[in-house]
Amino acid sequence: MKVEKTFLQGCFLLTPQVFEDDRGYFYESFNEKKFRALTGIDVNFVQDNVSKSSKGVLRGLHFQKGEHAQAKLVKVLKGKVLDVAVDLRKGSKTYGRSFSVILDTEKHQQLYIPRGFAHGFHVLENESIFSYKCDNFYNKESESGIVYNDERLNIDWNISGKVIVSEKDKELPRLQYI
């Protein structure tokens, strides 16, 4: 596994070693010991989630507040998405800045997003299946978010056609109000 630091402290891009032959491929998608050794982070994932979305769907930017905050390890099982993490840690040198990467089934990369970040993704292929491991359980009362098109964040979502955003996500506040 190759681990690359992003410019957002604590946010890492992971690329597995993929073994391919005429039967297909194999790779280790997560190994706690290797992850800890390469990142210095001791994480205990307690919940796995999967979503399926059509091309043009934009989900986010979501996070959980307080004691229910979640670190996530995200990847694409099918398709291609533009994945985005936004640093919401007040006092951080990169507060309000975002990191984006295209995750797909060709490279099998994963993005580790620490607690204190918002997360979202835009689906770039006809059907994408997205997976994320969380280090804390979902808590409805703690869910929050930032509207995806907040001018202050200035995120290039790679939108080239119709974008499909839930009514709930359209109503999320701007960064300055969280």
Q: What is the pLDDT of residues 13-49, one digit of tens each?
A: 999 999 999 999 999 999 999 999 999 999 999 999 9
The one catalytic residue in 27, 62, 122, 177 is 62
The CATH topology of domain 46-177 is: Jelly Rolls (2.60.120)
If phi over 0 gives left and psi between -120 and 50 gives alpha, with beta otherwise, what is residue 122? beta
Residue 158's φ and ψ, nearest 5 degrees, are 60, 45
Average of pLDDT values for 3-7?
96
Q: How far is Cα 4 from Cα 34, in angstroms, rounded to an integer?
A: 13
Sorted by where each begins, the domain ranges of the chain are 46-177
Closest CA to 6 of 108, 104, 109: 109
When the pLDDT of each residue in the chain is averaged and rounded to a whole number, the result is 96
Amino acid at 116: G
CB 145 within 8 A of CB 138: no
Q: What is the DSSP letter of 37?
A: H
Is pLDDT at 6 greater than 90 in this prediction? yes
132 noted as active-site residue: yes
Closest CA to 70 of 91, 85, 53: 85
108 noted as active-site residue: no
Q: How far is Cα 121 from Cα 52, in angstroms, rounded to an integer?
A: 12
pLDDT, tens digit, 9 for 90 and up, residues 51-92: 999 999 999 999 999 999 999 999 999 999 999 999 999 999
Q: How far is Cα 147 from Cα 61, in angstroms, rounded to an integer?
A: 6
The one catalytic residue in 112, 119, 122, 132 is 132
